[in-house]
Amino acid sequence: MAPVRLRHPKGVATIDVPFDAPYSVADLQHAVYAATQIVPSRQTLKAGYPPRALVLVPELPVSSLDLQRGDQLIVSESATPSGSSAPAASATSAAPAQSPSTQRAGPAVSTLPPLELARRPAAQPNPTSGPDHVELDGSFLIHRVVPDDNSCLFSSAALVFEQSISKAPQLRKIVADGIRNNPEKYNEAILGMPPTQYITTILKPTSWGGAIELSILAAHYSAEIDSVDVETGRIDHFSPGEFGSPSGMRAILIYSGIHYDAATLAPMADAPSEWHQTLFPITSTDDSDPVLIAAKKLADILRSKKAFTNTATFDLKCEVCGQGLKGEKGARAHAEETGHVRFGEY
Say which of 8, 132, 143, 152 is annotated catalytic.
Answer: 152
Dihedrals phi, psi of 84, to nearest 5 degrees? -110, 155
Could you say which of 27, 66, 71, 149 is catalytic? 149
**What are the backbone dihedrals phi and psi of residue 327, each rounded to the nearest 5 degrees, phi first?**
75, 170
Q: Which residues contact 294 (CB under 8 A, 6 or more apart)?
A: 134, 135, 136, 141
Alpha-carbon span 105 to 55, nearest angstrom:
7
DSSP letter for 274, please.
Answer: G
d(CA 226, CA 237): 5
Angstrom distance (rounded) from CA 113 to CA 200: 11
Our answer to whether residue 318 is catalytic in this structure is no
CA distances from 77 to 7, 22, 82, 109 (A): 12, 26, 9, 21
Cis peptide before 127 (omega within 30 of 0): no
Non-local CB neighbours of 118 within 8 Å, separated by 6+ positions: 206, 319, 342, 343, 344, 345
Active-site position among 259, 276, 318, 334 = 259
The torsion angles phi and psi of 44, rounded to 5 degrees, stand at -120, 120
Beta bridge partners of 279: none
The answer to whether the CB of 140 falls within 8 A of the CB of 275 is no
Rounded Cα gap, residues 303 and 168, in angstroms: 27
300 is catalytic: no
For residue 254, the surrounding DSSP H or E stretch is strand 249-255
Cβ neighbours of residue 61 under 8 Å, at least 6 residues apart?
Answer: 22, 23, 24, 25, 104
> How far is residue 157's CA from residue 5's CA, in Å, rounded to a whole number?
40
Under a CB-based contact definition with an 8 Å cutoff, are residues 208 and 115 in contact? yes
> Catalytic site residues?
149, 152, 259, 340
